[in-house]
A and B are shown apart, each in its own frame.
Chain A
Amino acid sequence: MPILSLQDVLKDYQTDGQRVQAVQGLSLNVERGELVALVGRSGCGKSTLLNLAGAMDFPTSGSVLLDGVSTSALKDAELTRLRREKVGFIFQSFQLLHTLTVFENVELPLLLAGKTNVREAARERLAWVELEGLGERFPHQLSGGQMQRAAIARALIHSPIILLADEPTGNLDTTTGNVILELLLRLTREKKTATVVATHSMEAAALADTVVRLRDGRIEEITRR
């Protein structure tokens, strides 16, 4: 069973009285251990698709099944639990809380879930992303690449079944970006997560198992390696 399944999804928004279709007729399956790259120009619907996949937003029509569960059918508390247990988010501008240390940033999802004694788990995730020894630093004391690694560690702290990354290399130089993409691929394989990356980067597309090209909210092409 695919980890993520979008079936004929349509999403439109009302903006200043105008109806805007962000995605339409979109169907996609993502399997465990698969790295999927969403490519396309700005405004083609990549972020919308990620939001739908992560149960942060809901389709106007069609269905989104995450681990076999339709997200539209869930109430707010159930959605929160779903995100806590199954989804990890990674953002372009890292989105680390500058008032917390790296350890505290990584631990945050578990703390929000009410878990205690989470320092070891954080230490382990930092080791996965090769950031051992930097746990006590604050985000402003890290480089861009280190901040993104910390964000990836945070996204992995609760062992999600799916990682959703929105332009994870957008704020990084090419070399660092490549390192991050390699890291994402390795983790996808090792931890058997499904990873969906929205990207403009050709390098990301080259690394992905599946490349989904979007245009004007529709899937133009799916290329599987």
Chain B
Amino acid sequence: MPPVLLFYRLMVRPLLREPVRAGLTVLAVALGVAVVLAIELAGVAATGSFHSSMEALAGENDLEITAAGGVPEAVVGTLAALPYSMRISPRIEDYAVLADTKQSFPLIGLDLVSEGGAYAERDTGSGGTLSSVETPKDSLEFLEDHESIWVGSSLGHKTGDRVRLLINDRVREYIVRGVYPDSNGDESAIVMDIAAAQQALTRYGRVDRILLKVPEEPGLGEWQLRISAALPAGVEVRPQGTGTNENRRMLAAFRWNLRLLSYISLVVGAFLIYNTISVSVVRRRPEIGIVRALGASRRVILGAFVGEAACFGVAGALIGLPLGRLMATGAVKLMASTVESLYVSSRPGAIELNAASVLLALAIGIGVAVASAYSPAREASLVSPVEAMARGRREYDASVRKVRDLWLALALGLAAAAASRAPAIAGKPLFGYLATILLVMASALAIPAFVSAVTTLTAKLLVKFFGVEAMLASRSLAASLRRTSVLVGALSTAIAMMTAVGIMVGSFRQSVVLWMSNELPADLYLRPAGSAAADRHPTISLGLAEDLAKIPGVVAVERLRAYEIRYQGMPATLASADLDVQDLIRWYPQSEFLSGRRQQQVFPELRRSNTVVVSEPFTYKHHVKAGDTITLSLGETQASFLIADVYYDYSSERGSILMDRQTMLRYLPDAAPSNLAIYVSPQARLETVRAEIEKAAAGHRVLLFSNRELRSEAIRIFDRTFAITYALEAVAAAVAVMGIAGALLALVMDRRRELSLLRFLGAATGQIRKMILVEAGLLGLLANLAGLALGFALSLILVYVINKQSFGWTIRFHWPVEILVTALTLVYAATVLAGLYPAQLAVRLNPLEAVHEE
């Protein structure tokens, strides 16, 4: 008989007779596959295929010239004077917001005189060029008009449309002079002449980047050297797209952490497959014996059960594929908003489900299923025919070596502790990850001893409070120790993840709240309208700060300015604080530095000097500390700065450098601030002052926040960034609860003789139901206890190792009791509810069929 037919009859068909249980197992695998696939697809779309719109429109150039605060225009002339045949493309690059739709788009200023013709005739592959009715040459007549713009087709405008754009804090009206085809919005932007862009952004005398196309010989490295020699000290030349690669690297840690979270669902699924196959082996011991007696080899038995697991894996992967694709749509939105909030402006790429993704899903589904099933399958292959066919030994449970496993668990726990103390490798907390894996393994090994101890200790209490049904339930769980341990292991892993991440996020949140109480001392904050991002710092028109400072009740207006720079190949933020107003606001809350010194002790060292303070992530990324010197390329110069101290900064994962405003203006003379911090006199009414400020700021598109509003907004953004982790936790918990439901179904079927006997002995249907529900409740309780303990241990690694080594933040440990209690209660309730259907099934069993021998 062909092996496939035999396999179907002996292994697959019995599964089909229990469609609910088999379905739950397949669904559990499918969810695990879907989550991993979703995170992978979304990660590629949101970060991995990170492709700044700026780069999309950069065309094919070889090198780029950049400088903090912008490249002086004169550099263009310097380059043009070089005796090389290069194409030189200066650019202004920023963002503008469509005032009507509030959508944000890249704003690109080009030298349209030299580039406009080439841009207008751009071949997008579809054979199209500018779709305007005007010829490219016609478009160029509007170059003198600073109200002219050209837009990508996906903006939905046509030539002649009037468009209101919010740039920095001003709304201006522009006229669309041409529309260019963009591919699916990836290259969508607003293009204007470089002079118009400089005017709109008040970026006179500077450009953001100069792109160079150089001849192929003598090689890019040599060209870099030649050009660098001609540039001022603070101006850098590097291969084009370097910024994108740097951002991509920075986002790698973020992606890795999400990946690991997604693997938790797979781990839970692995537990469940292990349990399913173990149950299958136990039930089929007589069949195994028969088949062995009929001539099947051990390898055939092993293959049969591994094949059964592979069936679950294949079915789970096939369902997980479309499910994962669907989940990726939601995941990419969550991830993209986190990337934008914490890292860099980006537009997510398309989600691509390709052959590699399909292979990944199949590999994960089948791989995890087969790996999980190997141990019980091997056990099945070792069953001898005589043993399996022995009558009277109906109940068999594999022996569990509790003590041995407990020692192993201890050893793994110690190894985890050792690994957690190891440093990061190439900025990645690899030993931290290893420590978490070791802890999960240790927990799995310790659970049998834990279950045994808890059921023994609680036996009397259970009978006292819940009656004989609880005793029967407890004894049953203890007697099937391996099966119980696997179930508890699965659910507790999910609970541990929820607990650990919950504690980490709660601690982080609390740290942020405490930090804000000192770091945001002003009464009001004002910034330009338009979407904020980690790397976007639109500015406020000059003069507004001075106007606001004259309003009665305003004690001081602190002007803050930030620039995006590069330091040692990584993005960083250079910011300035208005130290001249410090004396006016000295009674406000003062921030604390890592050294323990307060603001009033440190800031005087910064005033008008080349002394700075840096953020904690900065010190971690660049291995510097207070007392070290750093060299920054600012404008046309390079200058050295002494680090006076280090401050806590949870606003972004990018490293930050803070200097006195007057020092910054020496190197970067653009005086327009990014933000204003407004201090109101305690004697004045805040609402009155606020109204006056709003009046004074009319005509500027700015947002005004009270201190409380800003903190709420910050916390809202914080909570939003962790939305995806909450979603992953929920999936893992759902997988575990489904597994519990499936396992309870199996338990009911395997114990129908016992359940039927109870009916003969006088048990009412309600008592049978109660027994199953108490079992579900006990499983939930055991899992909660084990999960809490493991979760606490994992949270320590998350807070003090992984988070620290990935991002550089110091987080103060905090128990988010309310959130934990709510989450754990919900999971517990779901576990008990998962017992409802199996309980109903138990009640509906026909006792006569199960008990009598005839």
Nearest chain A residue, comparing its CB with the CB of B474:
A99
Contact A98 B854 (CB under 8 A): no
Contact B395 A98 (CB under 8 A): yes
* Residues of chain B with a CB closer than 8 A to A154's CB: 761
Q: Beta-carbon contacts of A90-101 to B below 8 Å, as 1s and 0s?
A: 011101011110
Nearest chain A residue, comparing its CB with the CB of B477:
A99
Nearest chain B residue, comparing its CB with the CB of A97:
B754
* Residues of chain B with a CB closer than 8 A to A174's CB: none
Contact A77 B754 (CB under 8 A): no
* Residues of chain B with a CB closer than 8 A to A109's CB: 761-762
User: With A and B bound together, what is the CA distance between A214 and B440 in angstroms?
Assistant: 62
* Residues of chain A with a CB closer than 8 A to B759's CB: 56
Residues A47 and B763 in contact in the complex (CB < 8 Å), given A99-B475, A99-B476, A99-B478: no
* Residues of chain A with a CB closer than 8 A to B472's CB: 97, 99-100
A56's partner among B476, B760, B767 (CB-CB below 8 A) is B760
Most buried by B among A57, A84, A95: A95
Contact A56 B758 (CB under 8 A): no
Contact B762 A112 (CB under 8 A): yes
* Residues of chain A with a CB closer than 8 A to B476's CB: 99
Q: Is the CB of A178 closer than 8 A to any CB of chain B?
A: no
Nearest chain B residue, comparing its CB with the CB of A164:
B760
User: With A and B bound together, what is the CA distance between A120 and B478 in angstroms?
Assistant: 27
User: With A and B bound together, what is the CA distance between A167 and B471 in angstroms?
Assistant: 30
Q: Is the CB of B851 closer than 8 A to any CB of chain A?
A: yes
Contact B851 A46 (CB under 8 A): no
Q: Is the CB of A68 closer than 8 A to any CB of chain B?
A: no
Q: Beta-carbon contacts of B141-161 to A below 8 Å, as 1s and 0s?
A: 000000000000000000000
Q: Is the CB of B596 closer than 8 A to any CB of chain A?
A: no
Q: Beta-carbon contacts of B734-773 to A below 8 Å, as 1s and 0s?
A: 0000000000000000000110011111111101000000
Q: Is the CB of A189 closer than 8 A to any CB of chain B?
A: no
Q: Is the CB of A74 closer than 8 A to any CB of chain B?
A: no
* Residues of chain B with a CB closer than 8 A to A92's CB: 853
Q: Is the CB of B852 closer than 8 A to any CB of chain A?
A: yes
Residues A167 and B853 in contact in the complex (CB < 8 Å), given A51-B848, A56-B847, A56-B848: yes
B762's partner among A95, A98, A99, A113 (CB-CB below 8 A) is A113
Contact A112 B847 (CB under 8 A): no
* Residues of chain B with a CB closer than 8 A to A95's CB: 753, 757, 760, 851
**Residues 119-159 (chain A) with a chain B CB within 8 angstroms:** 154, 158
* Residues of chain A with a CB closer than 8 A to B392's CB: 93, 171
Contact A112 B760 (CB under 8 A): no
Contact A112 B854 (CB under 8 A): no
**Residues 428-476 (chain B) with a chain A CB within 8 angstroms:** 467-468, 471-472, 475-476
- How near does chain A come to B845, taking the closest CB pair, in angstroms? 12
Q: Is the CB of B326 closer than 8 A to any CB of chain A?
A: no
Contact B853 A170 (CB under 8 A): yes
**Residues 833-854 (chain B) with a chain A CB within 8 angstroms:** 847-848, 851-854
Residues A77 and B853 in contact in the complex (CB < 8 Å), given A95-B757, A111-B468, A112-B758: no
Q: Is the CB of A83 closer than 8 A to any CB of chain B?
A: yes
User: With A and B bound together, what is the CA distance between A92 and B392 in angstroms?
Assistant: 11
- How near does chain A come to B145, taking the closest CB pair, in angstroms? 89
Q: Is the CB of B390 closer than 8 A to any CB of chain A?
A: no
- How near does chain B come to A157, taking the closest CB pair, in angstroms? 9
Residues A112 and B761 in contact in the complex (CB < 8 Å), given A99-B475, A99-B478, A166-B853: yes
Q: Is the CB of A60 closer than 8 A to any CB of chain B?
A: no
Q: Is the CB of B479 closer than 8 A to any CB of chain A?
A: yes
- How near does chain B come to A111, taking the closest CB pair, in angstroms? 4
- How near does chain A come to B848, taking the closest CB pair, in angstroms? 6
Residues A108 and B468 in contact in the complex (CB < 8 Å), given A46-B854, A92-B853, A113-B762: yes
* Residues of chain B with a CB closer than 8 A to A47's CB: 852, 854
* Residues of chain A with a CB closer than 8 A to B395's CB: 98
Contact B478 A97 (CB under 8 A): no
Q: Is the CB of A61 closer than 8 A to any CB of chain B?
A: no
Q: Is the CB of A223 closer than 8 A to any CB of chain B?
A: no
* Residues of chain B with a CB closer than 8 A to A158's CB: 762
User: With A and B bound together, what is the CA distance between A73 and B764 in angstroms?
Assistant: 18
Q: Is the CB of A76 closer than 8 A to any CB of chain B?
A: yes
Q: Is the CB of A103 closer than 8 A to any CB of chain B?
A: no
Contact A89 B479 (CB under 8 A): no
**Residues 303-329 (chain B) with a chain A CB within 8 angstroms:** none
Q: Beta-carbon contacts of A75-91 to B below 8 Å, as 1s and 0s?
A: 01100100110000101
* Residues of chain A with a CB closer than 8 A to B851's CB: 91, 95
Q: Beta-carbon contacts of A50-65 to B below 8 Å, as 1s and 0s?
A: 0100101100000000
Contact A112 B763 (CB under 8 A): yes
Contact B765 A76 (CB under 8 A): yes
Q: Is the CB of A43 closer than 8 A to any CB of chain B?
A: yes
Contact B853 A83 (CB under 8 A): no
User: With A and B bound together, what is the CA distance between A49 and B765 in angstroms?
Assistant: 23
Q: Is the CB of A42 closer than 8 A to any CB of chain B?
A: yes
User: With A and B bound together, what is the CA distance between A189 and B848 in angstroms?
Assistant: 29
* Residues of chain B with a CB closer than 8 A to A167's CB: 853-854
Contact B853 A80 (CB under 8 A): no
* Residues of chain B with a CB closer than 8 A to A54's CB: 760
Contact A80 B763 (CB under 8 A): yes
Contact A42 B757 (CB under 8 A): no
Contact B762 A84 (CB under 8 A): yes
- How near does chain A come to B754, taking the closest CB pair, in angstroms? 6
User: With A and B bound together, what is the CA distance between A83 and B767 in angstroms?
Assistant: 15
Contact B761 A108 (CB under 8 A): yes
User: With A and B bound together, what is the CA distance between A66 and B851 in angstroms?
Assistant: 22
A99's partner among B468, B479, B853 (CB-CB below 8 A) is B479
Contact A57 B848 (CB under 8 A): yes
* Residues of chain B with a CB closer than 8 A to A99's CB: 472, 475-476, 478-479
Q: Beta-carbon contacts of A25-47 to B below 8 Å, as 1s and 0s?
A: 00000000000000000110011
* Residues of chain B with a CB closer than 8 A to A98's CB: 395, 479
Contact B757 A97 (CB under 8 A): yes
Contact B854 A89 (CB under 8 A): no
- How near does chain B come to A113, taking the closest CB pair, in angstroms? 6
User: With A and B bound together, what is the CA distance between A97 and B765 in angstroms?
Assistant: 18
* Residues of chain B with a CB closer than 8 A to A114's CB: 467
Most buried by A among B476, B762, B847: B762
Residues A43 and B762 in contact in the complex (CB < 8 Å), given A56-B848, A98-B479, A99-B475: no
Contact A112 B468 (CB under 8 A): yes
* Residues of chain B with a CB closer than 8 A to A113's CB: 762
* Residues of chain A with a CB closer than 8 A to B763's CB: 80, 112
* Residues of chain A with a CB closer than 8 A to B764's CB: 76-77, 80, 112
User: With A and B bound together, what is the CA distance between A127 and B720 in angstroms?
Assistant: 70
User: With A and B bound together, what is the CA distance between A43 and B853 in angstroms?
Assistant: 11
User: With A and B bound together, what is the CA distance between A114 and B466 in angstroms?
Assistant: 11
Contact A80 B761 (CB under 8 A): no
Nearest chain B residue, comparing its CB with the CB of A13:
B848
User: With A and B bound together, what is the CA distance between A167 and B854 in angstroms?
Assistant: 9
Nearest chain A residue, comparing its CB with the CB of B762:
A84
User: With A and B bound together, what is the CA distance between A116 and B851 in angstroms?
Assistant: 27
- How near does chain A come to B258, taking the closest CB pair, in angstroms? 44
* Residues of chain A with a CB closer than 8 A to B848's CB: 51, 56-57
* Residues of chain B with a CB closer than 8 A to A51's CB: 848, 852
Contact B758 A100 (CB under 8 A): no
Contact A166 B852 (CB under 8 A): yes
Nearest chain A residue, comparing its CB with the CB of B761:
A109
**Residues 564-587 (chain B) with a chain A CB within 8 angstroms:** none
User: With A and B bound together, what is the CA distance between A46 and B852 in angstroms?
Assistant: 11
Please provide the 6 A-B residue pairs with the shortest distance between their CB atoms, ordered closest to farther: A84-B762, A99-B475, A111-B468, A99-B479, A47-B854, A80-B764
Jot down 24 A-B pairs with beta carbons below 8 A, ordered by A. Answer: A43-B854, A47-B852, A56-B847, A57-B848, A76-B765, A80-B763, A80-B765, A83-B761, A89-B761, A91-B757, A95-B753, A97-B475, A97-B754, A99-B472, A99-B476, A100-B472, A108-B468, A109-B762, A112-B758, A112-B762, A112-B764, A154-B761, A166-B852, A171-B392
Supply 11 further A-B pairs (C-beta < 8 A) apart from A51-B852, A56-B848, A100-B472.
A46-B854, A54-B760, A56-B759, A80-B762, A91-B757, A95-B851, A97-B472, A99-B479, A108-B761, A111-B467, A166-B853
